Amino acid sequence: MSKKIQKWLLDIRASIEAIQSFLSDNPDFEYYQNNLMLRRAVERELEILGEAVNRILKQQPDYPSPMPGG
């Protein structure tokens, strides 16, 4: 596995952990909907995560998916 892919996998993990930490205090969806700062923070981490996945697949299109059927 290339160093770049390893870095992007770490970025994915960091984004997931950040989202979990953002939502751990109050996992209520209504709270999430009404908190613009929280929504924007989660959206940004999802963008980072998506970009990392995109870069991995561009570098290695046959990279195995962790999702069943993926």
- pLDDT for res 47: 98
Report DSSP state, residue 11: H
Spatial contact of 7 and 50, defined as CB atoms under 8 Å apart:
no
Which residue reads 């205090």 in tokens? 25
- pLDDT for res 26: 83
What's the pTM? 0.84
d(CA 7, CA 44): 18
Single-letter amino acid, residue 59: Q
What radius of gyration, in Å, describes the C-alpha atoms of the chain? Answer: 14
Chain centroid to Cα 30, Å, comes to 22
Q: Average pLDDT in the 16-43 region?
A: 94
Q: Average pLDDT in the 16-44 region?
A: 94
| Statement: residue 43 has pLDDT above 70 | yes
Max intra-chain CA distance, the chain: 41
- More confident call, 64 vs 66: 64
Q: If pLDDT is split at 50, 70 and 90, which confidence band does 65 have?
A: confident
- More confident call, 3 vs 27: 3
